[in-house]
Structure 1
Amino acid sequence: MSLLSLLNGAQSSQTQSSKAYVGTGLSAAAQKALATAKEAASTASTASSRTQAASSQSDVSISPEALAAAQAKEDNAKDFAALSAQVRAALDAHYATLNATGNATVERGSAPDLSALSGRAVAAIALNRTGAFSRTEVQAAKAEMRARIQEDFANAALSSGGSSGGIAAYSSQLVSQYDAMSDEEREARGWTESTRASASAFALKATTPSLWDKLASDA
């Protein structure tokens, strides 16, 4: 799945009241992208129809989680500068598509919905090493990173009713995520080796029975 498809998918699932894209006009880059956006949308629609037909024939359904994992694996294997360029191009094409379909008036640098992108793709915007992204886009990427961390923590806490077991589960999850993610995503999240070590120590401590627990179980 392309980065443009992910961005367009996130936008289509979003209500107009939750996000507003306002601009004074298209930049040169967005105007250029607009010229190919309609053709790309038509091609994507045809490909989507073929994919749906093939899926119906085989009765195989790929979950959103599986698609996201596949996209993350693909993005993690790319050169970071190349990924940054792809994300920049995808954003410009996404803005142009919105204008072409009449959903909104946007310009290069508007705040996009990045929830469907992989962690490394979001990190490419947040770190902005190539200088290709606007301040608004960088802020949106950093906000997306924070939202993902907060969501993981909230889910862990809710699953345990707020007990220390949930914090331990989150700590274990953090260690697994840290080991699996790219250096760039770790940097964008502000995670270091110290972050991993602290989470690992807490998870180990929370899952190791204390002397009092052992005595109680032996009684």
Structure 2
Amino acid sequence: MLPDAPGPGAGTPPLLTGRGLTKGYGGAPVLHGVDVDVHRGRALAIVGPSGSGKSTLLHVLAAVLPPDDGAVVLEGRRIDDRGERARAALRRSTFGFVFQQGLLVPELDADENVALPMLLGGASRGPALRTAREWLGRLGIGDLVARRPGEMSGGQMQRVAVARALAHGPAIVFADEPTGALDTDTAAETADLLFATVRESGSALVVITHDLALAARADDAVSIRRGALEPVVLEPATVAA
């Protein structure tokens, strides 16, 4: 049986757990026996300098990469030992992703970009596009449904990326430096939107960032250095009323 990891929210069963996670590339270790819990309805920030293993940890937790050792368990079921096809299906159905550059498909309109995970998961085009347009409207960019990424600002593209991450009702949203490519004001607006929308939906949020102000928006925070985690206490972020 895998041991419980201490930390905030330990009184309720975690939605996702990582236990003893080890990962390396070309013989060089990156993660060293990491234990981490992700709880429903809470945001977890993972901070650390470049090269510390933040993104590798996210990829292992999100079933993008299998760990070399250890286990990732989602709602009581191990997911890291599944084959690539099964892990890809899990990512499409259960996880949402927001990346630093948005990674929208340039040839698709905004509503098509948001609908894409649903379509890849087998949804019919009409219902998927209707859901996509509803989410674009919720995020204040309903007028952009027919625009392509090249016709949007950076902040607008990140809003589309947030809509894409949430439209299919994921249990967990993974965000890798989601505001890193934005100016200060746009980054603050995007962070407000991401945290508020994920919490309203009842999903969990895992944010990888080097920005301590962004990390302070989270319910829980850990720091990763040389592939190991340690708890970190951040001053609460000041939020404009």
Same fold (TM over 0.5): no
* Bigger RCO (CA 8 Å, 6+ sep): 2
Higher helix share: 1
Higher strand share: 2
- Normalised to the residue count of structure 2, the TM-score between the two structures is 0.25
- Normalised to the residue count of structure 1, the TM-score between the two structures is 0.27
